[in-house]
Amino acid sequence: MSALPETQTTSIATSTPADVFVRDKSLCRELIGKLTFTEMIYFQVLGRRPTPAQTAVVDACLVTLMEHGLTPSALATRLVYSSAEEAMQAAVAAGLLAVGSRFVGTTEGAGALFERVLAAGDDGEAEAQRIVLAHKQEKRALPGFGHPFHKPDDPRTPVLFALAREHGLAGAHMQAALTLSAAVDAAYGKHITLNVTGAIAALLGDAGVPREILRGFSLIARAAGLVGHVHEEQQKPAMRAIWEASERAVPYDGVLPGGDDGAG
């Protein structure tokens, strides 16, 4: 391990009595009212302003990731909020903890696979076949592929791909995704959808977002969606219905005193 420098520094932000500076830009004079929220996200995270095309594509990805119904992250947020109404931040944080390798955060896994295809050189077909075969033999889910509800195709994927093409950002990562998709279909002998997290991994990659930060963009988008679930829970509390539904769906299977079973 290399030795750390004696003094650590940050390149993100600082402040003076008269202003705040982010990435060497004056917040008051150069950023507020000059950058959209999506542009500011890109600028703060990556240290450079996005092009108009990058802004459009990243914005579309954030919009797509924001909401997906009563999935684990939304359920966690609603249940925690109903238990601790004084701490909205705890409820949103609970939901964000559910953004992982199976839901929403699969962009990171898909991005890693696309990078392998790209790094292989040529057209990447041989590497794509190796990736798919390994996952199939080990019976592992392939990040970015398949969907329990959207079949034969995830309707969001072609919309996002069309938008990337419209803005001239259909690049190497999208091609890697399509190459891997073809290998998946060939290996399984049927069409398996390239789902929205796979599409978003490709689009963000072509928009200049590094693979190791892809899940961060998922978190940013989902945080906004979870605030919406908190607000609906305030107006139309669903916690009791969720609680009771879970008890009906997962009954007790032990034996109670007196010989009665838990389902009685």
Give pLDDT tens digits for 39-86.
999 999 999 999 999 999 999 999 999 998 888 899 999 999 998 899
Give the pLDDT mean for 163-179. 97
Is 116 contained in some domain? yes
Same domain? 60 vs 29: no
Is 258 contained in some domain? no
pLDDT score for 264:
46
For the cut 60, the answer to whether the pLDDT of residue 225 exceeds it is: yes
Q: Could you read off the pLDDT of 87-138 as tens digits, one per residue?
A: 999 999 999 998 876 766 688 999 999 999 999 977 889 999 999 999 988 9
Q: What is the CATH number of the domain that holds 63?
A: 1.10.230.10
pLDDT score for 259:
61
Same domain? 28 vs 152: no
Same domain? 42 vs 59: no
Is 181 contained in some domain? yes
Distances (CA, A) of 76 to 35, 109, 171, 203, 250: 33, 23, 37, 29, 17
Same domain? 106 vs 37: no
Q: Is the pTM higher than 0.85? A: yes
Same domain? 28 vs 78: no
Is 3 contained in some domain? no
Same domain? 58 vs 42: no
Same domain? 42 vs 133: no
- Dist. CA 133–CA 186, nearest whole Å: 10
pLDDT score for 124:
87
How many folded domains does the chain comprise?
2
- Domain extent for 175: 52-247
Give the list of residues 6+ apart from residue 120 with CB closer than 8 angstroms, or none. 126, 127
Token pair in block for residue 75: 């359920």
Is 262 contained in some domain? no
What pLDDT band is residue 146 in, cutting at 50, 70 and 90? confident
Same domain? 182 vs 136: yes
